[in-house]
Structure 1
Amino acid sequence: MKTVKEFQAEVKKEESVLNQLVKRGANAEVIEAQKRSVAKVKAELEEIKNTPTEKAIQSTATAGFITFDVVKDGKTTKESKKIAFVKHNRPVDTKRVDKYIYIIAQDKYEKAYPIIVAEAEKVLEKEYTVVDVNGNTIDKSTATDYYVVLDGQHRGTAFAKLAAAGEAIEIPNVHIRNKENIGEYLTDINEAAKSWDNKDKFAVAGLTTENEVIKTISEKIGEGFNPSTASLIYLGKKLNASLLNKVLKGEEIKLPKGATFNKERGDKFIILCKAAGMSVEQITKRYYIEGFNSFALSTNEDKAFGALKEIGKLTDSMAKIKSVKEGDNFISLLKDCMTIAEQGLGDR
């Protein structure tokens, strides 16, 4: 079955053909035939938009109650609970969620796959932060309404989105595991996943360590930053895989030579970039922080931040920011901004 995007592309193609026929003054019968083709594809597009799969993909996961089929001592009982997650656990990949939505909607989901949950009140007792499917923090007053999904986040989110689309949903084969050390458990199950990348590792490491460096980078990854750029912003250096693995094992770490953790500086860089109109998607491109760090070394911190503060005042500032493709480009831009800062000039 074609996806919505594929149908949308086909509609665009058929409409383009129709426009060309009209411009060329084609035979009326040919034009009418093409109009019917356009109408047919549009109808197919509307039809697929109304399927449970597409409705679910476009939906926001329900924050309401869902039926969990909880297995205990060989018996299954139905429990009405809301879905929650441990904050900073492995990020949810929307593409994987969409695949599960399709599998579930087509009745191809293998119900033998267990989903592991913990009772939210038990998780809160361990002083972890618990959030609902939309990222809202859950406190003890409502904790009894929630199961925290430890293993099966993507499947759980898929079920929640199907429920939001109006489907009658039950989450099968649910097992309650109120683990003593949830962080270590998440590390173990995520490490077993083939698709566990550095973003996932940092996210889980943020749960298993008290190291402020790792926690800060983990938080920024949750906001959309990539690990290497977040490291450059807060440390001035990247963190290698072996160091990250030590954190996951609960071992003490030493920062790379020349790395200095400065949260205030990193936060300030991000705030000023956002003030200039830059999105996280832009800021996380490493050449901005690489250029800034080099510029700060060649001048000083005050001048570098003073220049960064002026970027938004440049004429066509966003176009100039987007034109940056390497650190040297950003250095040149900062030099222009430093001139504005030093001369007290207005927009230019």
Structure 2
Amino acid sequence: MKQLVISSVELNRNFAFVKGNRQINAKAVAAKVKSIREYGQLSPITVVKGEDVYLSGGHLVDLDGNDIPDEQTENYFAVLDGQHRLMACLKLGMNLDNLVIAEPLNVEMSIVALIAEMNICTTAWKGTDYMAAPCMALEMKENEVFEFALELRRKNYPLSTISQWCLGKNTLKPRDFVNAIKEKKLPKAFENSAWYQRSINWYRVAQEKFSETFLAKKYLIGYIIDQGHEAKDPTAFYAQIEERIEQLTDEQAKLIMNPPKGLVTREQLIIDNLVEYLGR
């Protein structure tokens, strides 16, 4: 039997997260707040040096999700396990310098494998969680389509809606991201940016009119895709839809998002209103 000896050492580093790791869950943080308030920190937070993440091909973000320059990684500890405990301590106003941290016991595993074993194996991954794997494990060149996908993931969009906004079709599957690790490159679908060049403009305009909750439910992007397929001139329709969204009044946008109850389903009412106010 080996005894783990924990000592107090002054370490002048801030905390950071590994870019692409699963998102913070507000309910999980609330539960940790309740526990830590009553019992204190019960187990160490597992960290590695920030520069080790960078040297393994990963990147860091601060506790608010903002990118940290790679040349500054040596100023941080990257949290591999304990994100929710850390955020709970932050909410409680605790001095983060007093937290107990520990390095992984298995020093031979890769950082992405450590995160997987510590986090994924305890709670089954959802569709968008699989996007974390290539983001953490691959040395990726800039890819604006994948960056857009990650932006939507951070806003809790489901994988099917992310696929439609980024690619124009619901084809992205969790296995695509698993294969990306094996092949050491992003799914091939992200190589084509033609759809993204149009959809990013629709999305930015739509953000001014609709809530993120509504946009995440694929009503709008589904309408655009369907109408584009049916249009005699899809190119002309796609070119016009940005302006049509921009011209929506606040009242029309509210009616689309929250239609009055009728004789048909809410989904059908939303689709009917989209057609009425945005046209075919």
Global fold match (TM > 0.5): yes
**Distance in 1, Cα, partners of 2:95 & 2:185:** 48
Q: What is the TM-score with the length of structure 2 in the denominator?
A: 0.76
CA pair 106-119 structure 1, distance change in 2 beyond 3 A: same
Task: Verify: 1:161 aligned to 2:57, yes or no.
Answer: no
Which amino acid is the alignment partner of residue 129 of structure 1? H
Aligned with residue 32 of structure 2, among 85, 89, 100: 100
Give, in whole Å, the separation in 1 of the partners of 2:180 and 2:119: 14
Aligned pair partner of 2:202 in 269, 272, 291:
269
Q: Which residue in the other structure is 1:200 paired with?
A: 129
The whole-number CA distance in structure 2 between the counterparts of 1:301 and 1:169 is 57
1:326 maps to which of 225, 249, 267: 267
1:175 paired residue number: 103
**Partner residue, 1:337:** 278
CA RMSD of aligned residues (A): 3.5
AA of the residue aligned to 2:195: N
Query: In 1, are the aligned partners of 2:202 and 2:241 still within 8 Å (CA)?
Result: no
Give, in angstroms, the shift of residue 251 of structure 1. Answer: 6.6
Which residue of the partner structure matches residue 187 of structure 1?
A: 116
- The 5 A counterparts of 1:123-142 are 123-139=53-69, 142=72
1:306 aligns with 2:235: no
Aligned residues: 261
> How much does 1:229 deviate?
0.4
Is the contact made by 2:57 and 2:136 (CA closer than 8 Å) also made in structure 1? no
3-state DSSP of counterpart to 1:194: coil
Post-superposition shift, 1:203? 2.7
Q: Given the superposition, is the C-alpha separation of residues 264 and 314 from structure 1 closer, same or farther in structure 2, using an over 3 Å criterion?
A: closer
Distance 1:227 1:195 in 2: 15
Distance in 2 of aligned mates of 1:254 and 1:109: 40
Distance in 2 between residues matched to 1:336 and 1:168, nearest whole Å: 52
Distance 1:172 1:123 in 2: 20
1:1-348 superposed matches below 5 A: 74-80=5-11, 81-107=13-39, 109-111=41-43, 114-139=44-69, 142-162=72-92, 165-166=93-94, 170-175=98-103, 181-209=110-138, 210=140, 212=143, 216-235=148-167, 236-250=169-183, 262-275=195-208, 277-299=209-231, 300-315=234-249, 316-323=251-258, 325-326=266-267, 329-330=270-271, 333-334=274-275, 336-338=277-279
Distance 1:169 1:185, change over 3 A: closer
Whether contact under 8 Å (2:133, 2:178) holds in the other structure is no
Distance in 1 between the 2:240 and 2:272 partners?
A: 13
- State the Cα deviation string for residues 124-164 of structure 1 (Å, max 9, x = none): 344432122122332356434321101221112222322xx
Asked whether the 8 Å contact 1:306–1:338 carries over to 2, the reply is no
Q: Kindly, what percent of the aligned residue pairs are identical?
A: 21
Q: Is the 8 A contact 1:187 1:248 kept in 2?
A: no
- What CA distance in whole angstroms lies between the structure 2 residues aligned with 1:314 and 1:231? 25
1:168 and 1:271 map into 2 onto residues whose CA distance is 37
Q: Where does the alignment leave 5 or more consecutive residues of structure 1 unmatched?
A: 1-71, 340-348
| Counterparts in 2 of 1:85 and 1:332: CA distance versus 1, 3 Å | same
**TM-score, length basis structure 1:** 0.63
CA drift at 1:286: 1.5
Contact 1:202 1:227 in 2 (8 A): no
Cα deviation 1:270-310 (Å, max 9, x = unaligned): 122124x2232221112221111001111113324413422
Q: Relative to 1, partners in 2 of residues 1:168 and 1:219: Cα closer, same or farther, differing over 3 Å?
A: closer
1:197, 1:146 → 2: CA distance? 29
Cα deviation for residue 244 of structure 1 reads 3.8
What do the CA deviations read for 1:84-121 (whole angstroms, capped 9, x no partner)?
A: 1112211111111111111111116533xx42211123
Cα contact 1:307–1:335 (8 A) shared by 2: no
C-alpha separation between the residues in 1 aligned to 2:42 and 2:247? 56
Greater Rg over alpha carbons, structure: 1
- Decide whether the 8 Å contact of 2:61 with 2:67 is kept in 1: yes
Comparing both chains, which one has the higher relative contact order based on Cα–Cα distances under 8 Å and sequence gaps of 6 or more? 2
Q: Distance in 2 between matches of 1:333 and 1:139?
A: 42
Secondary structure at the counterpart of residue 79 of structure 1: coil
AA of the residue aligned to 2:235 = E
